[in-house]
Amino acid sequence: MKVGIRRERLQGERRVAATPETVTQLTALGLEVLVESGAGSESGHPDGSYTDAGATVVPELGLGELDVFCHVRPLSPDLVGGLRSGTITIGLASPASELPTVAALATAGVTSFALELVPRISRAQSMDALTSQALVSGYRVVLEAAIRFPRFFPLYMTAAGTIPPARVLVLGAGVAGLQAIATAKRLGARVSAYDVRPASADEVTSMGGTFITLDLDAVEGTGGYARELSEDRSVRQRELLAPHVAAADVLITTAAIPGRPAPLLVTQDMVTAMRMGSVVIDLAAETGGNVEGVVAGRDTQVTTRTGDGTVTLVGMKDAPSTMPADASRLFAKNVANLLALMTESGTVSPDFTDEVVAGACLTHGGTIRHEPTATALTGEQH
Ligand code: NAD
């Protein structure tokens, strides 16, 4: 069966859905891999490296001839129109925000797998792209903060005087937040963190951070995810966070609710109360932002309340793409492992009795299999 890998078209997207390493894995399964010329050039894989690994490099991928199409970014309805019925797609799908594409996939009879829907169980960890990409983002966000911060992160005791360590505050201690804590600790900062899920306290501590407990009821949804707070509790949360934010030199926000806009944790007023030279990096900027006024892909200088200087507010955008080589290495492995789970003797044949396959499937046989997305689409059509 033919598996196709295309050069990602979205501006700023530098990752690729297969690397030469995963091409070797896929061809060993009896699959034929077609790679569009230039697909891996931004992530350090020239065309020749794919050929050496056993793929066929083509100038342009003919979508209609593929049995399987692997991608990074969600597809567009236009592109889906070029796939034939029965084609299997694997990649990020953002089902909550890309409803027209989901509808197009169902109408076209495409069997689509959304990496966001891979169940977060031990057996599926090697296919969990949310985790692998959050790891990249959590690492990178700290480096972005460090290069903008006009001071050191570590404590220095020198003959010329003592420099205190930077105080880093991380809000949201999921995969990205925990990686941010670990990275800031490695750089020598003093790190504290908060998450609305009390279960994350032990994880924060094990990464070397100090967990902040607020006088706010715990909010835990299903599957280890947080639930959205009511408006009055959000207001209370911001009030309780305000002194911690004001005391931080570097604030990193990573809070998210699956399928919902990012929760607002920090107001402009809270930012202006920080000291001049402080840095705020919002990893949730692309989904609405945890920090009021943040713009994805832009640095904004916010004048401090005392008027003595500014705080740099950074809206992170395409965080995993800033490290395309390792982000692609992990992403491509996630894709290949999911594909391998469904492949027997060179044939890809999803077994829907397998909870990982069934859980990750978005559309199949003309229907939307993911209930919340089907419901959202029905609601939108009425
Ligand atoms: P996420 O990206 O959905 O959210 C990031 C963090 O934001 C979460 O920790 C969440 O609790 C937090 N958050 C949401 N609203 C908040 C608010 N108002 N204030 C403060 N924090 C808020 O989360 P994620 O990184 O995808 O992780 C979600 C869960 O999945 C975690 O429990 C994680 O341990 C678990 N997980 C399990 C596996 C597995 O294989 N078993 C793999 C990865 C993650």
Distance between CA atoms of residues 67 and 47, nearest Å: 22
User: What structural domains does the chain harbor?
Assistant: 2-117+324-366 (3.40.50.720), 137-321 (3.40.50.720)
Instruction: Quote the ligand 1 centre to 222 CA distance (angstroms).
Output: 11
User: What are the two backbone dihedrals, phi and then psi, of residue 78, each rounded to the nearest 5 degrees?
Assistant: -60, -50
Both structure tokens of 193? 């963190």
| Other CB atoms within 10 A of residue 308 CB | 10
Is the ipTM above a cut-off of 0.95? yes
pLDDT in tens, 185-213: 999 999 999 999 999 999 999 999 999 99
pLDDT in tens, 109-154: 999 999 999 999 999 999 999 999 999 999 999 999 999 999 999 9
The pTM assigned to this predicted structure is: 0.95
Using left for φ > 0, alpha for ψ between -120 and 50, and beta otherwise, residue 274 falls in: beta
| Ligand 1 pocket check for 211: Cβ under 6 Å | no
Name the residue of 125, 131, 233, 290 whose CB sits within 8 Å of the most ligand 1 atoms, as the mutation to test its pocket.
131
Mean pLDDT within 26-50: 98
Instruction: Quote the ligand 1 centre to 141 CA distance (angstroms).
Output: 17
Ligand 1 atom closest to Cα of residue 134? 25
Question: How buried is residue 240: exposed, middle or buried, by Cβ count under 10 Å (0-12/13-18/19+)?
Answer: middle
Evaluated on CA atoms 127, 358, 34, 319, the torsion sign reads negative
Instruction: Quote the ligand 1 centre to 226 CA distance (angstroms).
Output: 7
| Ligand 1 pocket check for 174: Cβ under 6 Å | yes
Closest to 131 in 3D by CA, of 172, 95, 178, 93: 178
Instruction: Quote the ligand 1 centre to 225 CA distance (angstroms).
Output: 5
Name the residue of 141, 195, 287 whose CB sits within 8 Å of the most ligand 1 atoms, as the mutation to test its pocket.
195
CA 320 to centroid of chain Cα atoms? 7
For the chain, the first-to-last Cα distance in angstroms comes to 40
Q: Cβ neighbours of residue 118 under 8 Å, at least 6 residues apart?
A: 124, 127, 128, 129, 130, 334, 338, 356, 359, 360
Residue nearest to atom 17 of ligand 1 (CA): 196
Is the pLDDT at 228 greater than 90, yes or no?
A: no
